[in-house]
Chain A
């Protein structure tokens, strides 16, 4: 599992990367009431704004952490945005991306480095 400075987690699953946001992020955002996910099949470039999250307080964007193709999105999350608060690193995942350059994963923090960043 890797982490971005934008509080995304990236979990390899076969040749895909599952992406969500960390519990630290969902705690900071507060209760999440709306999530707009990218379209399956979309080709995205690292740092594209591809997800919109609305909490009771404000809207925020989630950036594509990698270049690649969106191959699956969590429709359960769109129906029940509270999943992101309840199970940030499990059922609250956002999308699965097939990276075009898996080496981009090397740019990101491991868990110890992420925990140090948010400490």
Chain B
């Protein structure tokens, strides 16, 4: 335990009765006394507060925004140069084989690019940027916590601390003053709900968390519900649904690569792995990440092999994330299937405890997204 990092909210989690588990080198709350199921439902009905301070916050600064953005476009295949000031978008680092090194959120903060990366990858990501990028400085921000306030009540709660929160649209970024702290806030999250992600100075994080939790509608939510929420929302978990061996076309993440970076675009290619990824996007991938709904009640989790028929000898794919979807009220999963099986409505078979059980290929998200566009 002693070698685990702690976030600035660690003592608060303990005082709230959290069950702590090691996650990406941090001692993190997996659930509170409310329990994973109720925490999930509470977030979809009201608002949940998540500690995501284990994630990496990185500032990339060049002579100006354009130089930092141009440098990053060599490593990240999304349109960073044309991203408007105080707007955010989803992206990922790619590798030479066309796979995904990590997925991330990046924002135009006027004079720099602000990036949030996965906890498990952050050391590698930062070293990679520092090694590969010239003419820019890459700085990990270690004196800030990161909170997420997610759910339909998030706006009503946050506007009581700073009314400007209500003016933000999905993927807007702003500096707000929350409980006396200068916070970098984006209207985004990873639950499929409306909400905010809030970078707050570490020494003011507990006061902000307590101010948010003081609202009747806000409950603390652990990593267990964070996982079931993102799964129902059809969002990828790095290292599970996407990794160094999956390219964005296979991962059904082509939408994140804007036209300007694709074949025929004004800045086509010019990123690591483009010679693999661009043809895969235009020609189609041989396998794709799809949503899967087990037809029975048994959850099918990561690693369950998928078969084309009840008696086929060889698996054609694998479940990469799966579990019970509390809002759906049934098991949900995602996984990879070959071209001839990934059409919505197709029945495939998962092998669970020696039995073949049917699943239906389904559109994602499994629950309607509830963003403030």
**A34 partner residues in chain B, CB cutoff 8 A:** 297-299, 324, 331
The answer to whether the Cβ of B144 comes within 8 Å of any Cβ in the partner chain is: no
Chain A, residue nearest B329 (CB):
A33
B298 CB → nearest A CB, Å: 5
Stretch at the interface among B31-39, B120-128, B170-178: B31-39
A23 sits at the interface (CB 8 A): no
| Given known contacts A31-B37, A33-B299, A56 and B228 CB-to-CB distance under 8 angstroms | yes
Instruction: Determine if A56 and B298 form an interchain contact, defined as CB atoms under 8 angstroms apart.
Output: no
A52 to B298, CA, bound (A): 10
For B326, list chain A residues within 8 Å (CB).
Answer: 56
Residues in B neighbouring A33, C-beta threshold 8 A: 37, 297, 299, 324, 331
Does A30 contact B31, Cβ atoms closer than 8 Å?
yes
Q: Among residues 16 to 47 in chain A, which have CB atoms less than 8 Å away from a CB atom of chain B? A: 30-31, 33-34, 36
A76 nearest CB across to chain B (Å): 14
* Interface status of A67 (Cβ within 8 A of chain B): no
- Is B112's CB within 8 Å of the partner chain A? no
B43 to chain A, nearest CB (A): 14
Residues in A with CB closer than 8 Å to B299 are 33-34, 54, 59
The answer, yes or no, to whether B44 is at the interface (CB within 8 Å) is no
Instruction: Using CB atoms, name the residue of chain B closest to A27.
Output: B35
Instruction: Tell me the complex Cα distance, A52–B323, Å.
Output: 14
Is B224 interfacial (CB 8 A cutoff)? yes
Q: Are B298 and A57 in contact (CB under 8 A)?
A: no
Asked if A57 and B301 sit within 8 Å, CB to CB, the answer is no
Contact, CB under 8 Å: B224 / A56: yes
Q: Which residue of B lies closest to A56 (CB)?
A: B36
List A contacts of B37 (CB < 8 A).
30-31, 33, 56
- Smallest CB–CB gap between B140 and chain A, Å? 32
Does B353 touch A at the CB level, under 8 Å? yes
For the complex, give the distance between the alpha carbons of A59 and B303 in Å.
13
- Residue from B36, B38, B297, B353 in contact with A57 in the complex, judged by beta carbons closer than 8 Å: B36
Chain A residues with CB under 8 Å of B331's CB are: 33-34
Closest Cβ of chain A: how far from B34's Cβ, in Å? Answer: 10
Residue of B nearest to A49 (CB): B353
Listed by A's residue number, 29 A-B pairs whose Cβ atoms lie within 8 Å are A30-B31, A30-B35, A30-B36, A30-B37, A30-B224, A31-B35, A31-B36, A31-B37, A33-B297, A33-B324, A33-B331, A34-B298, A34-B299, A34-B324, A36-B298, A52-B298, A52-B353, A54-B298, A54-B299, A54-B324, A56-B36, A56-B40, A56-B224, A56-B228, A56-B324, A57-B30, A57-B36, A57-B224, A59-B299
Residues of B within 8 A of A (CB): 30-31, 35-38, 40, 224, 228, 297-299, 301, 323-324, 326, 331, 353
